[in-house]
A and B are shown apart, each in its own frame.
Chain A
Amino acid sequence: MNVLNSYQPDQGQGKAGAINDVLPVLPANIRSMLAALPDLFQEKVEEIRLRQGRPLLLGLSNGDVFLCAEGRPTHRINEAYQVTPLDMERVIQLISNSSLYALEEELRNGFITLPGGHRAGITGKAVLDGGKVRTLKYLSGCNIRISREISGAASVVLPYLLDGNEGIFHTVIVSPPCCGKTTMLRDLIRQVSNGVPELGFPGMTVGVVDERSEIAGCYKGIPQRDVGLRTDVLDGCPKAEGMMMLLRAMNPRVIAADEIGRHEDVKALEEVLNAGVKVIITAHGKSLSELLERPVLGKIIKSKMLERFVILGRSRGVGTLEEVIDGKLMRAIGVRKC
């Protein structure tokens, strides 16, 4: 467990800079292919997908594209670079820092968090123990998802989340995968923690439970992302346990966590809500009605304890703010798509 004051000096990161973060975990040949891409194209890369014996694929915001051996994007399969067994072996060793033994929990979950908060999903053959996944072997697929820090991503939504008494509403950010939930959550944490003088908001102590090291991008316990001056990060800690630990130990005024959904997470969330601490959480879903269908999360939404729902989508590109919903009235507040 790492509980620490997470203020880091501004580490402004260009969009293309994010891809440079993940280059060290790729074999030299694939590294040079990606480095050969023009800067403008690098900015668009959201995922790097490697599947043994199949073409190297780049996931972009508006589709995907193969990569040639000389580092040129192409839509022709016969021109695409085929990922070799040696490439896969190297990638697995590099993303695990040659320490698969130290990442057993991560392998069970199917992903490894890389320095900078990027995530490498892994597939292979699951080894079961008593019906549960013990580990993965014959690792043959890897998807490196590039996380980008966008300062100001939450600015548009923040005025709807402030309660006018120097506090914030209990907030849930809702979106399907890859629509910018975590990016918005991170920026919201930063702004709530630092305060926003122009909105007359002084800033609050925020406790973050960063189970997958994606929010603060902690590496060896130290946040690599700017998550604000008054933020304490519990890195790699299960959400349910972490929320209770922060509540007891760090006296936060806001607790933030990513991807709430399991029964134990919601139970801990109820505890936090009843303890007078504000929450900012995210959940997978397309809309509020979809969340209401969820057996565990739906119940707490129906109790109307959660006050704001920020719905993100892709209708005008990744991270489009579709609507902000008042959780008590269960209706949208006038927000224009942006």
Chain B
Amino acid sequence: MVMASGFCGLSVAGNYQRRPRELRSLRAALQMLETEVSYGATFLPEALKQVSGRCDQSAAVLFREAAAELSTMSGVTAAEAWDKALRKYYPGTALKPGDLAVLHNLGASLGISDREDQIKHLHLAMEQIESETVGAEDESVRNVKLWRYLGFIGGLLVVLLFY
């Protein structure tokens, strides 16, 4: 019982630790995408594929899936491909619904306007992710230790109360 509860606590603490890391990876990946869009004028499927090859593993799946979906030319828009990739990417991350909303909003504008406008949208998403990262780091500092101990202590309490 104590072990199970302890592992739950560790898992929650792990999520608090992972989120800022994943947000930083996402921001770096979006920065790479901006470079591809603004300097390389690379087509979106190729740009997403290139970013997936260079960015951190935690963010790579999102860009790889979106690129693969767009490359099939099955008739989906960039927003639909991005959303589909998000549905595969999000469950495996420690991101919160607010982070997902930022990515979802970015997807709605991907590839549908001129370079200047694309850069604005990418900058906006990067700024929002940055602000989420600051919050996530604060939460991480506050909650990681708490949940590490809380899991074990909670388990111990239950054992003491019922046995």
Binding site for B on A (CB under 8 A): 24-28, 31, 89-90, 92-94, 96-102, 104, 107, 135
User: Is B41 in contact with A102, judged by CB distance below 8 angstroms?
Assistant: yes
The residue in chain A whose Cβ has the minimal distance to the Cβ of B81 is: A98
The residue in chain B whose Cβ has the minimal distance to the Cβ of A94 is: B75
Closest Cβ–Cβ distance, residue A224 to chain B (whole Å): 15
Q: Is the interface of A mostly helix, strand, loop or mixed?
A: helix
Given known pairs A93-B111, A93-B112, A135-B114, the reply for A102 and B75 (CB within 8 Å) is no
The residue in chain B whose Cβ has the minimal distance to the Cβ of A92 is: B112
| Neighbour of B113 across the interface among A24, A90, A100, CB < 8 A | A100
Q: Give every chain A residue within 8 A of B117 (Cβ-Cβ).
A: 101
User: Is B42 in contact with A102, judged by CB distance below 8 angstroms?
Assistant: yes
Q: Mark B85-122, 1 if CB is under 8 A from A, else 0.
A: 00000000000000000000000001111110110000
The residue in chain B whose Cβ has the minimal distance to the Cβ of A27 is: B75
Per the CB 8 Å criterion, the residue count for chain B at the interface is 22
Q: Give every chain A residue within 8 A of B73 (Cβ-Cβ).
A: 24-25, 94
Q: Mark B42-64, 1 if CB is under 8 A from A, else 0.
A: 11110100000000000000000
- 11 A-B interface contacts by CB (under 8 A): A26-B75, A31-B75, A93-B111, A97-B45, A98-B43, A99-B43, A99-B47, A100-B111, A100-B113, A101-B117, A102-B115
Binding site for A on B (CB under 8 A): 37, 41-45, 47, 70, 73-75, 77-78, 81, 110-115, 117-118
User: Is A28 in contact with B75, judged by CB distance below 8 angstroms?
Assistant: yes
User: Is A101 in contact with B77, judged by CB distance below 8 angstroms?
Assistant: no
User: Is B44 in contact with A97, judged by CB distance below 8 angstroms?
Assistant: yes
For the complex, what is the distance from the CA of A231 to the CA of B135, rounded to whole Å?
60
For the complex, what is the distance from the CA of A89 to the CA of B111, rounded to whole Å?
12
For the complex, what is the distance from the CA of A79 to the CA of B46, rounded to whole Å?
40
The residue in chain B whose Cβ has the minimal distance to the Cβ of A102 is: B41
* Sample of 18 more A-B contacts, CB < 8 Å, known A97-B70, A101-B41: A28-B75, A93-B112, A94-B77, A97-B111, A98-B43, A98-B78, A98-B81, A99-B42, A99-B45, A100-B112, A101-B118, A102-B42, A102-B43, A102-B44, A102-B115, A104-B41, A104-B115, A135-B114
Closest Cβ–Cβ distance, residue A6 to chain B (whole Å): 22
The residue in chain A whose Cβ has the minimal distance to the Cβ of B38 is: A101
Closest Cβ–Cβ distance, residue B35 to chain A (whole Å): 13
Q: Give every chain A residue within 8 A of B37 (Cβ-Cβ).
A: 101-102
For the complex, what is the distance from the CA of A97 to the CA of B74, rounded to whole Å?
11
Closest Cβ–Cβ distance, residue A328 to chain B (whole Å): 46
User: Is B75 in contact with A96, judged by CB distance below 8 angstroms?
Assistant: no
For the complex, what is the distance from the CA of A85 to the CA of B117, rounded to whole Å?
21
For the complex, what is the distance from the CA of A71 to the CA of B113, rounded to whole Å?
32
